[in-house]
Every structure is written in C-alpha cells, then in structure tokens.
Amino acid sequence: MVLKPSHYKSNVWIDWCPGCGDFGITAAMYRAFSELNLDPAKTVVVSGIGCSGKTPHFLNVNGVHTLHGRAIPFAVGIKLANPELTVVVNGGDGDLLGIGSGHFVAVGRRNIDILIILHNNGVYGLTKGQASPTLSKGVLTKSLSKPNIQDAVNPIALALASGYTFVARGYSMLAEHLKNLIIAGIEHRGTAFIDVLQPCVTYNDIHTVEFYRKRVYNLEDEGWSPDVKGEEQETNKKLLAAWEKSLEWGDRIPIGIFYRNTGISTFEDRLSEEIPIYKISPPSKQIISDEKGRTLIDREIFRKIFRDYIIIRKQER
Amino acid sequence: MSVKEANILLGGPQGAGLETTAQILTSSLAYLGYGVLADREYYSNIKGRHSYIHARISAEMIPLSLSYPVEIVGAMDSETIFTHFEDLGDGGYLIYDSSTDNRTLSSIASMEPILKNRITERLKRLGVEAKVSSLVDYLASNGRAEIVALDFPSILDTFKKRFEPEPIQASRYVSSILVGAVCGLLDIDEEAVKYGVSRRFMKKEKLIEHNVFLVNYVADYIRENYGSPYKLDNSRLSLNEMLTVMGNDVVAMAKIVGGLRYQSYYPITPASDESFFIEAFERLEVDGDSIGGIVVFQTEDEIAAITSAIGASLTGARVATATSGPGFSLMVEGLGWAGHSEVPLVITYYQRGGPSTGLPTRGGQSDLLFTLFASHGEFPRIVLASGDHIEAFYDAIEAMNYAERYQLPVIHLLDKFLANSFITMGIPDFSKIYIDRGMIVEDGEDYRRYEFNGPISPRANLGSKAVMWYTGDEHDEYGHITEDPEYRIKMYNKRMEKLDLIDKEIDPEKRAVLYGDFSADYLLVGWGFVKGVAIDSINKLRSQGLNGAYLHLKMFSPFPSSYVKSIIGSFDSDRVILVEHNYLAQAGKIVAMNTGTIIDRMIVKYTGRPIYVNELIIGIRKILEGEMRVVLSYGA
Ligand SMILES: Cc1ncc(C[n+]2csc(CCOP(=O)(O)OP(=O)(O)O)c2C)c(N)n1
Ligand SMILES: [Mg+2]
C-alpha cells in the first residue's frame, strides 16, 4: 500500500508563523516520504531546538525532538544501533552551525547514512531574531540593534570540507525541487546535507521571499554535474568546483546538488568490517539473554573469552 | 621464617617499564595463589615523571586496602629513593642502583621543585647530605634499612654479553632487575617467574628467555646474599583460578557479560581504558563463533557520547557511556533529557581529583553531590557507588538492569583508585547475575510512549511496529508537547514516582551495608573505595581492643533513608565518623538531607592518593579522643 503525503502529516496543529518557510520544508518531506513510500515505523525524524526543532511533531513518523545543537549525535546513535531505519535530521542554523557545529563537522568524517536538512533562516527564530551563524557581516535584520559584526559561515563549503558525500541546497518555496533533493538525499548512501534557504517572515526582513525569488537559479539548468565518477583526482576536481560554486552568493544564488560522491564507504560499512555480524544483527536487534534472564555468557564462556586475564594456580605436587 | 603478607613499593620514571614489573609480579604471585592489590600512582605525563606502584601481597586473603610503611622499596631511579625513603619500615629493604651513588637531589630535573624543597628541608633536619650515597649510608648506619645495592649497568652488561640484545632495547630490561630483586626477597620460585614473564610477553620467545634469565639471575644473587627475609607462607586462599584485573577491566567485563551492545566515549583518564577493553572484545568470539557484537564508538566530545548513547537506547540497544568529571560536566544537559524522556542509560563515572582538570590521574570522591544534582529541573535518577572490584562487577550489570527496568539514567560511581588498581580476584559467581530488560512491547496500534500506567509505561523501541515521539519539552502520553498545567502535574508525578517504586523494590540492605554490628564502640560511614581501608582499619583496631563497625553507602538515589537512620541512630553521635575522599564529607550532606541526622565528625583526604590503613587508624583514634575533623595526607 502506498501512503499519500497527507498520511505523513500528524494531527498536531502546526504553530509556526503564517508564511514561515518551515511549512514548505515540511510539505516537501511529506511528499518525499510518500514517494519513497517510507514505513512510518521505520523512519525517524530527529530535530534540535528552535522553530525548526518542532518539525518531528508535525510528521506522522517516529519523532525525536532533542536538545539545542545535538540532533546529529542523537541521530547517529539511532542509526548506528539500528541501521535499517531511515534517519532524517532537521535543524536550525543556530542549532547545526552554532551550538552544534562540532557535531556537524564530525558526522561528515564518518559518512553515516543519514540526511541532514538545515533550516537556514539567518536568525535564531524561536529566541526572537538574533543573528544566526549564517547571517553575513554588516547585515541588519529586524531584531538587531545594529548591523551584524560577526561574519557568516558558508554551510556548503563547511559540509564539503567536513567530508559530506552529498551536498545540496534547496529553497523552501520551491517545494517540488526540494522534494526531489530530499528523495535524492535519503537515497544517497552516506551523510547527505541539504542547506534549505528558509525565509523567516517575522525576524528576517532581508532574506525574504522577494529576495530569493529574484536570485535563486537551478544548477541543473546550467548543466552542473555534481557526481564524482571513479578516481581520486576526479574527487578533488569536483570538490574544488563545488567549493568555488558555494562562494556564489549575491545577485545569483545556486540551488541543487553541488556535490555527490557514492564511492566512499559508510560508517556502517566500516563497522561491518570490524564486526562481521553488525549488518545482520546490529546493537538494537541482538538478544542478550535467555527467557529466564540468564546471560548469554556463562561461567565457561567467560573463562574462554577472558582467558588472558585468568590465572590458573600452580598445582601442588 | 616466613610472612603472611608483604607490602612493597616500586618506583621509577613514567614509561620506563614499571607497569611491566607490576604485571609480571602480579601474575607470578597469582600463579602461586597469593592475593594482590596494587595501586598505580602516576602523573598526567607520558614519559619521565615519577610514578610508583604500591602493593599488598597476602597469603591469607584478597587485600582490599593498602598501608604504610612498606617492607620493600624498589627504586629504578634516584628520584624514587629520595621520594620514598621514609615509606620504608624499620628493617625494610631498599633496592637501588648503586651506579647512581653520586646523584644529588638537586640534579633530578623531573622532580617538582616543591617536593625537592620539602625533601631538602627534611634531609637537613636529619643531617643528611642530599646525595644518593649519603642517604643510603644514613639508612644503613641507623639500622633503619637493609640496603640491596645492585649495579644496574654492570648487571645489564653481563646480560648483554650473553644475549646481545639490540642497544636501544637494553634499558627496557631494567624493570626485570627490580622484579628479580623482589622475587629473591619474597622467594618466588623459578617456575612462577617463568609463568609471570611468559604471560607478560605472550609468545615472544626471545623476550621471555631474556627476561626470565635476568629475573632469576638477580633473584639468585639476592637469595645468596640476603636470604629471603619475606618468604611468603604458602597461600591459604581457596581460589584455584584468579582474575588479574584493574577496575577498568572488571567493569568492562561486567558490561560485556551483562549484554552491553553500544558504548560511546570520548577519551579521558581514568575512564577510557574501560572502553578500550570492550572494543578489544567487540566481536564477542567464542571458539571462533561470534555470539554478538558491541559497537564502541569514539565520539567528538562527551556531549555526543551521551546523546548518541541515548539515541541508541531509543532503538532498544543496551547502552552505556563512560567518563570522568570533566566529561560528565559536558553530559549534564543530555542527562536531563534522558531523565525527562525516560531513557534507559548507564553512565559509568570514574571520579578523579577536581575541580576543573584538577588532578587528572589521581583519585577522589568529590563528585557525589554533582552526580546527584546535575542538570536543571527535577527527574528521577539512580546513583550507585561501588566499593571494590568485586562489587563493581555486579553493580555494573545491576546498573544496566535498573536503567532498563525503571527507564531512567543510572550513574555508576567509581573512582581512579579502583579504576587503576590491579587486583587478583575470583571468577564472578554467575548464579548472582541476571538480565532484566523491563517492560518491552512490540506492537504498535495507537502506541503511547508515556501511557499512564503507573510510573513505568511499556517501552516500544524505534524500529518496532509502533510510531512514537520524544521531546525534551513537557509532553503528553504520545510524546507530543503540552503545556497544560493539570496535565503537567500528572506527567510530572508519573516520572517522579519512579523514585518511590525503586525505593520499594530494591532492598535497603543492598543499598547500604553494615559491616560489624550495633554493639560496636564507633561507626565509620563511607562509600566507594573507602570500603576496604575502613574495614581493614576496624579489624586492626579490634585487635587493639576497639570494636568498630562500618556503614557502606551504595545507593545515594533513591537513598535508603530509614534504614540508614536506624543504624546511625543507634550509635552515640560523637561515635559516628564520616570517612571520605573530599573536603565537605559529601555523603554526610546526603545522609543529613535524607534522614535529618547530622554527622559532624569526619576524616577526609583530598590529596588524590588513597586513604591508607596506617593513617586512618590514627584518624579514628583522634576523633574518638574528641577531634571533630581530621585531614589525612599520607603518600607521595
Ligand atoms: C543550551 C541552550 N541554549 C539556548 C537555548 C535557547 N534557544 C532556543 S531556540 C534557540 C535558537 C534557535 O535558532 P535556530 O537554531 O536557528 O532555529 P530556528 O528557531 O531559527 O529554527 C536558542 C538559542 C536552548 N534551548 N538551549
Ligand atoms: Mg534559524
């Protein structure tokens, strides 16, 4: 049975400001999940704290609304313990690139098979509009008393530098395009990242729908080819090109897939090499005792496993 | 003549083979059936600073405490002689390298100036020149000590002529000279030496041959020239098999036996060795077959360690993380999320000297209050502390059972003393071990993670047939956010009432254990690694006519209030003494908070070194003579 997009909508009232870009992101998720026919019980949406952090409650799949900045490590634990789950992280720009930036970088090094969706609105929405790590120097948004004196981090470049193997940008108002990115991100084996430009109608009066409409263009339309095919040299070439592209911001803002490399092992693959039974029997699936609550390791097995730590006393003659 | 026990101290620069010395000796002694407890004291340093091993060897029992003075000081370098000459008891044996006779105290660059000054003062008062030969002469001429002067370089020369080891390797054999001298003094036979050396070097035949030769060569020399003054009685221990383990190893073994399947950690002393140990057994292979697999995950920081462990727990894996003070400080917000969201989680917490980085490689018990109150808001938690290696084994498994049965975070409190001390112990009793995973459901129709069903709601895992939500916000039965004031009371109560349930279900006598009886003249109250030294000190004082008892506190949340109150209440208040490794006597605060009973007499130590029997006995006497607070400080 194929589940319709509406099936993925929970019955919780969505309490974002009318017109918020987060609606577009959530709608794109409903549609992507439906097209992929994801089993809600085998899908987990993990979020941090912020307006974006509420996302899981609006979806009818498993939801884990965690701590500010920590969605990624929660998601990593979920995925490593049960790799059959589809795990999607939703975080704010403060969440993923400010307080949680260490995790954002670390997950790229591992290439764990999850998708991370950044709700990039340039502000700390839920705390009323302070500058976020993606707001450029000199920009004055509504809540600020003076132009921003901190500069912006470049999410695309940071993801590339951190080792993400799927790096893309979407725009919350282009739902069809974003839906396709989400599908591609979920289907990608490895850590996938989508930087979603998300207008905040209440606190960001600079990066508005009007602002983006004039600037956003689709990489694909210009014949951009993000995919690494084979060789290491090719990887570096594609990385450099994507990096350069990520600097483009101003009159023209590219969206689409910047970089994709399917040739890197996932962390799950690497674990399976260490622990052969990992794939068939990951931590969440293992039976650890019999019905009576007895441990799998009894005295004899204990003696075998830990023989290097056991000393058998000299026998008296 | 033979002895029932021997206390020894072996010192040398960090990274010069002291650990090898300890391992060989422990294995040889265990092979002969002796009980050994060996504490490792070392700087936060990789190479060059002073470190030492302080051990008790017994023919009668598994020692649970250490004491000074020692009968043997074995010095790999002159820093050890200057630092420890007063740790040697009258008539004891000093083993040292006579080629260093001309070494002066001031020329020892690795020694901290503060200590150097103190020793300089001390030697001045004794009228001894600050030079190895003068100090050795002083010890010998006063009849204070027997001097075992060994010319290390010439012993190594003899050895080199015979075996021609590679030049850089030669210095690595110094530790075997010490092992040999100790084996001679204790009269450990060749077979046991061979056994100990072989275990240390596992199948590296050349190294085994070299070291066995060297050890026996030195041991024979000692026997000929000094006899074997501390020849040990035949062991009366009934154990035929012994585990030789550090506290880290024991806890790791327990977690493996207890079904741990996911452990996250960020490197920190003295916790990371535990994770390393588990990782070495990640495939759980028995006779070539794998009976499971454990993911040991090194995270980017402790925040990720705890939060990824929580994530793994939500899928139904049995999880834990292990850390020390600085790491736990970072975990605090995650701890609150786990408590609020009712997630089974074990945090194995090895205390070290704080605050801040404090004494990174030394022990302490100053984090009790922190573990009890860490994180904002109120939520139920279990805080369980172990007193020795054997307790730590059972507690580590129990901690995982409690976490899953009650769906909450369990903090298992240990300390560096336990983590890094070697012990010989019996193989655990498997009839005492069980696994309890609590109430788990698979089916998913209209599943409510926080169903009002008493304090414990049936737990479905992410990945089961159920769909569920979690949030750190206050939530309804489904796990969706609610701020309704009346609902808040219901959900809040549901969480907090777990504490009452646990209090009802876990026997108070398991949570606080009385050693001795109500007729005793005084009562010591302590926890953690204090256990061994408290019990041994009481036994020592009993032979001197003072009858004492020890109340060992094990679970601090939920606290066995009425049981503890009744025990403490049956002693005169001036006969109840807290013994702790911190300044405030923190357990006393918890006793007061839970029972209304204030214990105002205390013996505390916060030097980062363990409490020793010799000093605790003096402390107890002082308190019984009217002092309120005794601060202990023995040990280098
Ligand atoms: C540790 C911690 N510090 C601060 C906060 C307060 N806080 C809540 S949301 C938020 C910022 C959210 O901004 P962003 O991540 O960009 O998400 P948005 O609301 O814009 O979607 C902050 C700082 C918190 N919840 N936790
Ligand atoms: Mg934001």
Task: State pLDDT tens for residues B331-345.
Answer: 999 999 999 999 999
The residue in chain B having the minimum alpha-carbon distance to the alpha carbon of residue A40 is B467
E strands present in A93-236: 115-120, 123-124, 130-131, 166-171, 192-197, 216-218
Residues B383 and B371: their CA atoms lie apart, in Å, by 7
Q: Are B411 and B382 within 8 A, CB to CB?
A: yes
CA nearest neighbour of A89 among A58, A121, A50, A45: A45
Answer whether residue B577 shows pLDDT above 90: yes
Tens digits of residue pLDDT in B424-436: 999 999 999 999 9
State whether B256 and A298 contact (CB < 8 Å): no
Residues B421 and B38: their CA atoms lie apart, in Å, by 5
Ligand closest to CA A95: 1
Angle in degrees, CA B270, B275, B276, rounded to 5: 95
Residues B355 and B367: their CA atoms lie apart, in Å, by 9
Residues B326 and A163: their CA atoms lie apart, in Å, by 29
Answer whether residue B318 shows pLDDT above 60: yes
Q: What single-letter DSSP state applies at residue B560? A: -
Q: What is the pTM of this model?
A: 0.98
3-state secondary structure at position B628: coil
- How many C-beta neighbours within 10 Å does residue B129 have? 15
Structural domain spans, chain B? 5-226, 244-431, 439-506, 508-632
Cis peptide before B229 (omega within 30 of 0): no
CB-based pocket (< 6 A), ligand 1:
A 49-52, 68, 92-95, 119, 121, 123-127, 132
Where do the domains of chain A lie, and which CATH numbers do they carry? Answer: 5-266 (3.40.50.970), 269-316 (no CATH)
User: Could you tell me the distance, in angstroms and rounded to a whole number, from the CA of residue A129 to the centre of ligand 1?
Assistant: 10
What is residue B238's predicted lDDT score, i.e. its pLDDT?
93
Residues B449 and B475: their CA atoms lie apart, in Å, by 10
What is residue A2's predicted lDDT score, i.e. its pLDDT?
83
User: Could you tell me the distance, in angstroms and rounded to a whole number, from the CA of residue A101 to the centre of ligand 1?
Assistant: 13
pLDDT mean across residues, chain B: 96
CA distances from B32 to B187, B190, B212 (A): 11, 11, 17
- How many C-beta neighbours within 10 Å does residue B473 have? 16
What is residue B1's predicted lDDT score, i.e. its pLDDT?
76
The residue in chain A having the minimum alpha-carbon distance to the alpha carbon of residue B307 is A74
Q: Does B290 touch chain A (CB under 8 A)?
A: yes
Answer whether residue B167 shows pLDDT above 80: no
Average pLDDT over residues A158-184: 98
Q: Show Cβ contacts of residue B569 under 8 Å, excluding neighbours closer than 6 positions.
A: B597
Average pLDDT over residues A9-23: 98
What is residue B39's predicted lDDT score, i.e. its pLDDT?
97
Q: What single-letter DSSP state applies at residue B171? A: G
Answer whether residue B157 shows pLDDT above 80: yes
State whether A66 and B307 contact (CB < 8 Å): yes
Give residue A160's Cα distance to chain centre. 14
Give the minimum alpha-carbon distance from A139 to chain B in angstroms, rounded to a whole number: 32
Q: Show Cβ contacts of residue B574 under 8 Å, excluding neighbours closer than 6 positions.
A: B601
Tens digits of residue pLDDT in B289-308: 999 999 999 999 999 999 99
Domain B5-226 of CATH type 3.40.920.10: yes
Q: Show Cβ contacts of residue A221 under 8 Å, excluding neighbours closer than 6 positions.
A: none
State whether A102 and B318 contact (CB < 8 Å): no
The residue in chain A having the minimum alpha-carbon distance to the alpha carbon of residue B234 is A316
Average pLDDT over residues B55-82: 97
Fold match flag (B5-226 vs B244-431): no
User: Could you tell me the distance, in angstroms and rounded to a whole number, from the CA of residue A193 to the centre of ligand 2?
Assistant: 16
pLDDT mean across residues, chain A: 97
Band the pLDDT of A16: cuts 50, 70, 90. very high
Task: Write a three-state SS string for B465-489.
Answer: CCCCEEECCCECCCCCECCCHHHHH
- Please tell me the residue having the least CA distance from ligand 1 atom 10: A50
Ligand closest to CA A127: 1
CA nearest neighbour of B347 among B400, B304, B295, B393: B400
User: Could you tell me the distance, in angstroms and rounded to a whole number, from the CA of residue B347 to the centre of ligand 1?
Assistant: 27
Give the minimum alpha-carbon distance from B181 to chain A in angstroms, rounded to a whole number: 22
CA distances from B258 to A191, A266, A295, B137, B472 (A): 33, 29, 7, 56, 29
Give the minimum alpha-carbon distance from B245 to chain A in angstroms, rounded to a whole number: 7
Q: Architecture of B244-431 per CATH? A: 3-Layer(aba) Sandwich (3.40)
CA nearest neighbour of B514 among B564, B560, B575, B555: B564
Pairing of strands A166-171, A310-312: unpaired
Q: Which residues of B touch A286 (CB under 8 A)?
A: 259, 261, 292-293, 317
Give residue A79's Cα distance to chain centre. 12
What is residue A56's predicted lDDT score, i.e. its pLDDT?
98
Answer whether residue B467 shows pLDDT above 60: yes
Please state which CATH number belongs to domain B508-632.
3.40.50.920
Answer whether residue B142 shows pLDDT above 90: no
Residues B35 and B60: their CA atoms lie apart, in Å, by 7
State whether A65 and B469 contact (CB < 8 Å): yes
State whether B427 and A299 contact (CB < 8 Å): yes
Residues B22 and B53: their CA atoms lie apart, in Å, by 7
The position carrying tokens 């589809």 is A86
Answer whether residue A317 shows pLDDT above 60: no
Q: Phi first, then psi: give them for residue B42, nearest 5 degrees.
A: -155, 155
Mutate to test the pocket of ligand 1, among A58, A95, A97 (most ligand atoms within 8 A of CB): A95
Which residues keep their CB under 5 angstroms from ion ligand 2?
A: A 92-93, 121, 125, 132
CA nearest neighbour of A47 among B392, B422, B470: B470
Give the minimum alpha-carbon distance from A79 to chain B in angstroms, rounded to a whole number: 8
- Please tell me the residue having the least CA distance from ligand 1 atom 24: A68
Of the partner residues B32, B257, B466, the one whose CB lies closest to the CB of residue A41: B466
Q: Which residues of B touch A56 (CB under 8 A)?
A: 469, 471
Q: Are A309 and B449 within 8 A, CB to CB?
A: no
How many A-B residue pairs are in contact by the CB < 8 A criterion?
A: 260
Tens digits of residue pLDDT in B31-57: 999 999 999 999 999 999 999 999 999
ipTM over 0.90: yes
The position carrying tokens 């950690």 is B265
Residues B93 and B71: their CA atoms lie apart, in Å, by 6
Band the pLDDT of A230: cuts 50, 70, 90. confident
What is residue A238's predicted lDDT score, i.e. its pLDDT?
96
Give the count of alpha carbons within 13 A of B228, CB side only: 19
Band the pLDDT of B168: cuts 50, 70, 90. low
The position carrying tokens 């020892």 is B108
Q: Are A133 and A105 within 8 A, CB to CB?
A: no
Answer whether residue B67 shows pLDDT above 80: yes
Q: Which residues of A touch B241 (CB under 8 A)?
A: 303, 310-313
User: Could you tell me the distance, in angstroms and rounded to a whole number, from the CA of residue A48 to the centre of ligand 1?
Assistant: 8
Amino acid identity of residue B492, one-letter, is Y
